[in-house]
Amino acid sequence: MSSPTAPGLEQLLTLATPMDTCRGLFFNGVFEAARALGGAEVRAKCLAVAGAKTYVDFFSYPVADFLKTIFTAAELLEGSAREGQSMVLRQLGRRATADFLHSTVGKTMMALAGTDPQRLLASFPSAYRASLSYGDRSVERLGDKQARLMARRDFLPLEYNEGVLHAAMEQSTARELVVRGRQLAPLEADYDISWS
């Protein structure tokens, strides 16, 4: 049995409601990544798709606008980054983690979790709740050096979340990290995380 195809932007936009939001710091991170990887013109196009307004880091904005922004960035940057859209989405996810970890909430999470991989994983659901108004995430421990993050009603693309999780786990003592997402339904995915 094959796994479901990841939903595209149009499908995600039909599923999102005005109550589904994410923090402005993620928008700002995409704008900066777009500028760094593609120049001012790519940044301007991403900003226009997002509504051409100023985003305050800890204010909440519609995830539909964010989805338009990251899909536009992935489309525009795939050539300039010499990688496909999947790799660009992973890079944007990594950038989101860096931005989150520099925030007050991110610094607090790291102070509490320390560098232990399992403790860091256990903090993921609350970190997502602090950043996103929607969805449910839980972590299942599969062994000493393996776990699964289960994301339900999650609008973010699989590759984006793979980048988020990989960059976050790099803050721990985990080495030889492997993060593999598996799409279960349009808004459901499991992420298997293993390390040595």
| pLDDT of the residue at 7 | 87
Range of the domain at 51: 14-92
* Same domain membership, residue 88 and residue 130: no
Give the pLDDT of the chain (196 residues) as one tens digit per residue.
445 777 899 999 999 999 999 999 999 999 999 999 899 999 999 999 999 889 999 899 999 999 999 999 999 988 654 458 889 999 999 999 999 988 888 888 888 888 999 999 999 999 899 899 999 999 999 999 999 999 999 999 999 999 999 999 999 999 999 999 999 999 999 999 999 9
**Residues 73 and 109 placed together within one structural domain of the fold:** no
Total domains in the chain come to: 2
Q: What amino acid is encoded at 4 in this protein?
A: P
Last residue of a domain, one of 62, 92, 122: 92
The pLDDT of residue 84 is 82
Mapping DSSP to helix (H, G, I), strand (E, B) and coil, where does residue 146 land?
strand
60 lies in the same domain as 19:
yes
**What's the whole-model pTM score?**
0.92
Task: Report the DSSP pairing between strands 178-185 and 146-152.
Answer: unpaired
**Cα(93)–Cα(36) distance, rounded to whole angstroms?**
15
Q: Which pLDDT does position 79 carry in this prediction?
A: 61
Q: How far apart are the first and last CA of the chain?
A: 30
* Residue 162 included in any domain: yes
Task: State the CB neighbour count (10 A cutoff) for residue 28.
Answer: 16
Q: Are 31 and 43 in contact (CB under 8 A)?
A: yes
Q: Give the position of tokens 């936009």.
A: 13
Any alpha helices (H) in the chain, and if so which ranges?
Answer: 9-15, 24-38, 40-50, 63-80, 85-101, 104-113, 117-131, 158-169
